[in-house]
């Protein structure tokens, strides 16, 4: 028994002078891996326009049915996005989301991106719905130029498809 006690104390002494492996969260936060998938952000282009063109491909790709997109037509005099449409409503239910990143992969304009923020907590179910206002980055946080095809789509909308019966 005395031997075991000495062995235990030996271990205590050995670790007493080492750097602790624990961090004092939330004052200290460990950086996450580059490919970590956290809270979503809706991005903008460098000119401040929203990247989202309201196509709903992210919602279609989502295996948890967590995304709601309600598109609206852009006003040609004051467009919100460079396409024909923009997302008038964009919501993600964070209680449903499994952070798989399929929405990010499906997005043709790199509008929806899972970033490194992981502090997601809420006190009621209603607060788990992240709205467009919460997801959209500020006006001056845009990057990347608008692809010419998107600008063209804004100016020359395709005629509606005709189906001959
Ligand atoms: S990360 Fe996955 S589960 Fe979450 S909203 Fe995107 S597609 Fe849906
Ligand atoms: S985030 Fe991307 S995929 Fe989803 S509606 Fe907007 S443009 Fe389409």
Could you identify the residue written with the tokens 């005395």?
2
CA distances from 87 to 8, 17, 33, 71, 90 (A): 62, 56, 30, 4, 6
Q: How much is the pTM?
A: 0.83
pLDDT (tens digit, 9 = 90+) per residue, 91-132? 999 999 999 999 999 999 999 999 999 999 999 999 999 999
Q: Please write the tens of the pLDDT for every residue from 59-89.
A: 999 999 999 999 999 998 999 999 899 999 9
Q: Which atom of ligand 2 is nearest to the CA of 110?
A: 2
Domains of the chain: 31-155 (3.30.70.3270)
> What DSSP character marks residue 143?
-
Best residue among 40, 60, 96, 103 to mutate for probing ligand 1's pocket (most ligand atoms within 8 Å of CB) is 103
Give the residue, by CA position, lying nearest to ligand 2 atom 6: 52
The residues lining ligand 1, judged by C-beta closer than 6 Å to any ligand atom, are: 61-62, 64, 66-67, 92, 97-103
């Amino acid at each position: 028994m005395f031997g075991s006690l000495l062995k235990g104390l030996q271990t205590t002494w050995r670790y007493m002078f080492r750097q602790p492996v624990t961090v004092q969260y939330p004052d200290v936060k460990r950086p996450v891996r580059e490919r970590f998938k956290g809270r979503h952000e809706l991005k903008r282009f460098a000119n401040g326009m929203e990247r989202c063109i309201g196509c709903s491909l992210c919602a279609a790709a989502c295996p948890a049915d967590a995304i709601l997109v309600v598109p609206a037509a852009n006003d040609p005099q004051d467009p919100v996005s460079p396409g024909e449409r923009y997302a008038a409503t964009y919501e993600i239910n964070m209680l449903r989301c499994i952070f798989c990143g399929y929405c990010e992969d499906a997005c043709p304009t790199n509008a929806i991106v899972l970033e490194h923020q992981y502090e997601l907590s809420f006190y009621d179910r209603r607060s788990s719905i992240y709205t467009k206002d919460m997801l959209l980055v500020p006006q001056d946080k845009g990057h990347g130029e608008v692809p010419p095809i998107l600008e063209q789509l804004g100016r020359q909308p395709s005629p509606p498809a005709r189906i001959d019966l």
